[in-house]
């Protein structure tokens, strides 16, 4: 059976440089800022944990939108 080769160079080559959030995007909406901050945790997590984070973010975003819709008149 072939096993993955844990070569440090291969791990470094597979690393993704995540884009930074533009400074002007911060501070417009507290709910959005909170969600974006939580998205910022993804680079430090294994890929297997991304789905859970996305699911939680989607749930919280939907709740925030529904709450905003309830107060709009």
- For residue 5, being part of any structural domain is answered with no
How many angstroms separate the CA atoms of 7 and 25, rounded?
A: 38
Q: Nearest 5 degrees, angle CA 33-CA 36-CA 39?
A: 155
Q: How many domains does the chain have?
A: 1
Contact yes or no for 36/21 (Cβ under 8 A): yes
- For residue 12, being part of any structural domain is answered with no
- For residue 69, being part of any structural domain is answered with yes
How many angstroms separate the CA atoms of 63 and 52, rounded?
A: 17
Instruction: Quote the pLDDT of residue 6.
Output: 64
Q: By residue range, what is the domain housing residue 30? A: 25-40+48-73
Per-residue pLDDT for 64 more than 80? yes
Quick: pLDDT tens for 18-50. Answer: 777 777 776 778 888 888 888 888 888 888 999
């Amino acid at each position: 059976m072939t096993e993955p080769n844990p070569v440090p160079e291969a791990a470094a080559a597979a690393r993704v440089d995540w884009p930074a959030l533009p400074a002007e995007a911060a501070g417009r909406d507290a709910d959005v800022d909170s969600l974006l901050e939580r998205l910022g945790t993804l680079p430090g997590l294994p890929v297997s944990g991304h789905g859970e984070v996305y699911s939680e973010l989607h749930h919280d975003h939907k709740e925030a939108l529904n709450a905003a819709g309830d107060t709009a008149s």
